[in-house]
Amino acid sequence: MAQTWFDRRTHAGRRWTVEELLEAKRASGQRLSVVIPARNEAATVGDVVGRIHEDFVRRCDLVDELVVIDGESTDDTARIAAEAGATVHSLAAVRPELGTRVGKGEAMWKAQFVTTGDLIGFVDADLTEWDTHFVPSLFGPLLTDASVALVKGFYERPFRSGSTDDPNGGGRATELVARPLLALARPELTAVVQPLAGEWAVRRSVYETLHVPIGYGVELAALIDVADSLGLDAIAQVDLGRRAHSHQSLHDLGPMSVQLMAAVFKRIRQAVPADVTLRQFRAVAEGYAPVVHDIDVTERPPAVQVAR
C-alpha cells in the first residue's frame, strides 16, 4: 500500500513552471496564502520572507498573502519580517478571545483566522539552506489535481553543527520518533519521506476541519487525519531538493517528541493527559540536576467549529 501510494503520489520538484501554475490559479480562481510561523527567528526570517516576497508577490502574483505569525518572539522577528514584506500578526492579537497557547501548531491554527487563501502553504522561518521554488512546488499538486488535499515537501537533510557536516544526518526527531511511530500506528504513511516537514500545503476547506495540536504534533496530526478522512490518495509529496535549518539541541527535542507521540497516541485512542511532565537530567558536580518540562499536548478544535 505504502509503495503503491509512493509511486502514484510522489512528484519531482520544479515539475510545474510558475507560468503554468499562474495559469492554473487564474483558471480555478483560487487564492494562495503562505504562512510562516516564527518564534525568535530574527537571524533567518528576513531571508525567508524577503525571497518569497520578491519572487511570488512582487514579480508575479502567485502568492496573494504572505503572513508571518509571530509566536511571542522576544527578538526582532516581527520587525524584520514586516520589513521584508510579510503581514505580521502577533499570536496573542489573533482572536484574543480564544486565548493563546505558545506553540507552532497554535500559530498555524490561528493563521486560519487572518488569511483568506483557498490554498495555504506553510514554510518554516528557520531555514538556512532552501530555495523559493519550494513555494510553487508545494502548491503544484493542489493547483493541478482536484483530488489532492495535502502536499508534503521532502528533501535531503544535512546536519551541520560546529565541525560536523553530515549530508544525511538531519532529522533526529523524524528518524527516532516520527518514523517509528508511523511504522507502529499508521504503516500506510511510512512512504511519506519527511513526515515532519514544516514545508507543506493544504486546502483550506480540509484544514479547517482538522483538530490542530498546539505544538509540534501539528504535522503528524494533519497527515493522519487527512489520510483517515479522505484516504491516502488525497496526500501527495514533492521533492524540494535540499533543506537545512537551525538545529535544536538534543534535549530540546525531548519536549517536541512528547508532542509528536501525544498526537499519534490520541489518533490510536490511547489516552493522554492534558499536561505531561518530562523530566530530564544533567550531570553536575554534585550529582544529577533534574530539568522538568511541563508540556502542553492539547489540541485546538477544527476552525469550522469556532464561531466567527
Ligand X SMILES: O=C(O)[C@H](O)COP(=O)(O)O
Residues in contact with ligand X by CB under 6 A are 157, 159, 170-174, 196, 247-248
Contact between 181 and ligand UPG (CB under 6 A)?
Answer: no
Q: How far is the CB of 172 from ligand X (least distance, A)?
A: 4
User: Which three cell numbers mark 17?
Assistant: 513552471
Question: Chain centroid to CA 142: how far?
Answer: 16
Nearer to ligand X, 172 or 293 (CB): 172
Binding track over 241-260 against ligand UPG, x by CB under 6 A: ----x--x-------x----
Which contacts qualify for 100-103: CB closer than 8 Å, 24 or more apart?
A: 100/72, 101/214, 101/296, 101/298, 102/39, 102/71, 102/72, 102/214, 102/296, 103/71, 103/213, 103/214, 103/215, 103/216, 103/259, 103/296
Binding to ligand UPG (CB under 6 A) within 109-168 occurs at 124-126
Contact between 299 and ligand UPG (CB under 6 A)?
Answer: no
Helices (H) and strands (E) in the chain, counts: 11, 16
Among ligand X, ligand UPG, none, residue 238 binds (CB under 5-8 Å by kind):
none
Query: Binding residue for ligand UPG (CB under 6 A) from 13, 37, 121, 254?
Result: 37
User: Which three cell numbers mark 294?
Assistant: 511541563
Among ligand X, ligand UPG, none, residue 119 binds (CB under 5-8 Å by kind):
none
Q: How far is the CB of 19 from ligand UPG (least distance, A)?
A: 30
Q: Of 11-19, 31-39, 59-67, 275-283, which segment contacts ligand UPG by CB under 6 A?
A: 31-39
**Cα–Cα distances in Å, from 203 out to 18, 145, 179, 181, 222?**
19, 12, 25, 26, 12
Residue listed under C-alpha cell 509529496: 237
Nearer to ligand UPG, 16 or 155 (CB): 155
Among ligand UPG, ligand X, none, residue 171 binds (CB under 5-8 Å by kind):
ligand X
Among ligand UPG, ligand X, none, residue 125 binds (CB under 5-8 Å by kind):
ligand UPG
H or E element in which residue 179 lies: helix 179-185
Reduced to 3 states (helix: H, G, I; strand: E, B; else coil), residue 239 is strand
149 within 8 A of 235, measured Cβ to Cβ: yes
69 within 8 A of 101, measured Cβ to Cβ: no
Q: How far is the CB of 153 from ligand UPG (least distance, A)?
A: 10
Q: How far is the CB of 201 from ligand UPG (least distance, A)?
A: 13
Positions that interact with ligand UPG (CB under 6 A) = 37-39, 41, 71, 102-104, 107, 124-126, 173, 196, 198, 216, 219, 245, 248, 256
